[in-house]
Structures are given as structure tokens and as C-alpha cells.
Amino acid sequence: MPRGKEIASEHFRLVTSKSGTIGIQLIGRIDRYCSGSLIRRLKSEIKKLGPRKVMFDLNRITYFDDFGALILFELRSFLTGFKIEFDLVQPPPRVSEILTLTNFESPKLCAPLIKKKQPNLISRLGEGAITTVLNIRYQIAFLGSVILCLLEVMLNPRKLRLDDTVQLMKKTGVDAVPIIAMISFLLGLIMAFVSSLQLKQFGASIYVASLVALSMVSELGPIMTAIVVAGRSGSAFAAEIGAMRISDEIDALFTMGISPTLFLAIPRIVASILVIPLLTLFSDLFAIMGGLTISVWLLDLTISTYIAQTIKSLTLFEFMWGLMKSFVFAALVSWIGCLRGFQVQGGAAGVGNAATSAVVSGIFFIILFDSIFAVIRSYW
């Protein structure tokens, strides 16, 4: 073969001949560190030279793996694209073993890739509708199973897992007291401050006490508490039950003949229903203390007038109304948390989605039911 131009580097030697044939010899360790740059370099050299035929010689290779096979494969499809002939000098046994293992000789390298068919708009719409319907059915079924289990527990209280329930009451309730107290105190502070700016102009500063007490007890107290609990415990319920779901623990319970609802959901729902109204009372109390602080500090009211006005403006009905609401919110938040946990599918990402969804739909349901209560009350 008459020799023309020669290009050499650490990993290859390229020789051109007059007849338009290029000989490329790969040298040394052909591994993952050099494969990317070799492919680019050789492609650009071949493009520049524009040969009729390229011969590859692999006899000076000291190490060869599937990254090397990839180089040959990429260059072969590159050359075929330009209608240039590809030829391989009989490789040493070590290299040909790898080439056989990677199916280098078959033109497609591997079985053709099975592309997942993208369904059309109508079938996707149908699928979406079916999923939604099944979802709603599951939710109704879960609601039913929760109600049945609650009835069962009422008839036979020994079926309630008392230890778990007490533990969950501590987690959901006691551990949430500091954050609830903090938020409510600041909320009372803000409400008193903002309203005082207006009421002071009319000389009606005393009504700050009524405003704080009424709005907290009947509206904001239950809502704030429920939202905080949805964020703290609703998401925790969903993540905990979801993780159990993906590690087959729920299936284990089911096959032992233990109802997963009774075992997992009921203690959480019962604990929430018991502690959230109590947390709401704390929230009301701390907000009133916040209002008191501002009134005494900035509005020159005395502690006793503030408290007297608060007591005067609150009725038992307001209290019961607020507590009833927080009772409903508690059931909703814990129910949604458990539901999202039981609905988890797939892996770790599914658990994350469930926790997010538990908080988002929890808050949505709180606001929705609060609006419903507002409507009911206005037609009372």
C-alpha cells in the first residue's frame, strides 16, 4: 500500500494512500476516557480527507471493552451515511471476543428498539376519564371503609389500637402546640394592630377585643390549626402509609386478615379528631393573648377591660360552631392524608407525590368546607 499522509496521536495512527483508502490503527488502552474524543477526532479527520474506503486495524490495542466497540459502531454508521466502505482487519482474539459479545457483526447491533406507541387524543381522554372515575370510586370506597371501621370501633372499643392512637395524639397534638401557639399569637397581634388603626379613628378601640375574639373563635382559629396540622401531620400520614404500601407492608396486613384501614387509618383519624379541637382552643387562647398585648401596649386599654369585652362578645354558640368546624376539618385532613398514602404506586417518587397531594387537597378541602359552613350559617 503506497503511503501518503500520516496523522498520529496517543490512541490512533491514520495513514492515507493514493487509492483513496485510509488505514486507521487504534493503539493502547481504548476505554471510556478516550472514546468520546476519539469518535469526534476520527469523524472530523475522515470528513476532511473524504476517502473511498476506511480500514481499521485493532492489533495494537492493549485494552478493549464495549466503549471501543462503540467507537467502531459509531464510525461504521457514520461511514455508511457517506457511502464510504468500512473494513476491519482481522482483530486479535481478545478484541473479537468483545465484538462478538456486543453483536457487532449484526447491522442493527441489538434487536430494534420497541417504541412505546403514543396514544391519540381520544384514547388519552378516555384513559383520563377512566382513571378519574376509578379514583373517585376508590375514594368513596375508602370513605365507606373508614366509616364502617369507625362504627366497629364504637361498638367494640377494644378493636382500637390504643397505644398507637395515644402515640399519634402526642405527635399530632402535643408536638404541634408550640408552632400553633406561635402562629396564633402573631396572628392575634397582627389583627389587633391592623384593626386598631381604623377603630382608633372612631374612638372604638375597645372593639379590637371583640374583633379578635370573634374572628379567631369562629373562623381563623379552626382554619389556621387545620392548615398547620395538614402540613405537619397530613403529609406525615401520607408518607408513612405510602412507604408501607411500596414495601408490601399493607399487603402483609391484608393477608393476615387485619383490615389496613382499621390498623392504620383509624388510629390516625381518631387521634386527629380528638386533638385538633383542643389545638384550636389553644390557638384561640393565644390569639386573644396577642390581641391583648397590642391593646394594652398601644391602645391604652387595661387587661380587665379587654378580657371583659372579649367575654361579652363571645357566645357559647360561637365556641361550639368553631369547635364543630375544627372537628370536621380534623376528620378531613387525616382522612385525606391516609387516603393519599393508600393510593401510592411506584417508588420513592410516589411517596413524595402523596405527601404533596395530602397537603394540597387537605388545604383545599378545609377552605371548601369552610365556605360551605359560611353559607349554612348565613341561612341559619
Binding interface with other proteins (CB under 8 A): 31-33, 35-37, 39-40, 65-67, 69-70, 73-74, 97-98, 101-103, 109-111, 113-116, 345-350
Count other Cβ atoms within 10 Å, centred on residue 197. Answer: 9
3-state secondary structure of 290: helix
Tell me the three state secondary structure of residue 360: helix
Neighbouring C-beta atoms of residue 317, cutoff 10 Å: 10
Q: 73 or 319: whose CB is closer to other proteins?
A: 73
Residues 61, 30: Cα–Cα separation, whole Å:
7
Cβ closest to other proteins, residue 41 vs residue 232 = 41
Element at 264 (helix H, strand E): none
- Write out the H or E segment, with its range, that includes residue 1: none
- State the cell numbers at 344: 401510592
Q: At its nearest, how many Å lie between other proteins and the CB of residue 356? A: 14
Cα 161–Cα 225–Cα 332 angle in degrees, nearest 5: 55
CB of residue 115 to other proteins, shortest distance in Å: 8
Minimum distance from residue 346 beta carbon to other proteins (Å) = 5
324-342 residues labelled b (16+ CB within 10 A) or e (exposed): ebbbbbbbbbbbbbbbbbb
CB 172 within 8 A of CB 233: yes
Nearer to other proteins, 66 or 164 (CB): 66
CA dist list (Å): 32 to 67, 100, 151: 6, 19, 65
**Whole-Å CA distances, 102 to 35, 69, 108:** 16, 7, 11
Q: How far is the CB of 97 from other proteins (least distance, A)?
A: 5
Q: Toward other proteins, which CB reaches closer, 66 or 219?
A: 66
Least Cβ distance, residue 345 to other proteins (angstroms) = 8
- Within a 10 A sphere around the Cβ of 143, how many other Cβ atoms? 12
CB of 261 to other proteins, least distance (A): 24
Candidates 91, 64, 90, 86; CA nearest to 76 is 86
Nearer to other proteins, 98 or 289 (CB): 98
* Start-to-end C-alpha separation, the chain: 104
Q: Which is nearer to other proteins, 62 or 304 (CB)?
A: 62
Shortest Å, Cβ 243 to other proteins: 12
Q: Residue 87: name the closest of 22, 178, 162, 9 by CA.
A: 22
Nearer to other proteins, 33 or 297 (CB): 33
Q: Considering the complex, what minimum distance in angstroms separates the CB of residue 19 from other proteins?
A: 30
Identity of the residue, 98 or 204, whose beta carbon is nearer to other proteins in the bound complex: 98
Q: CB of 114: closest distance to other proteins in angstroms? A: 5
Q: Which is nearer to other proteins, 34 or 150 (CB)?
A: 34
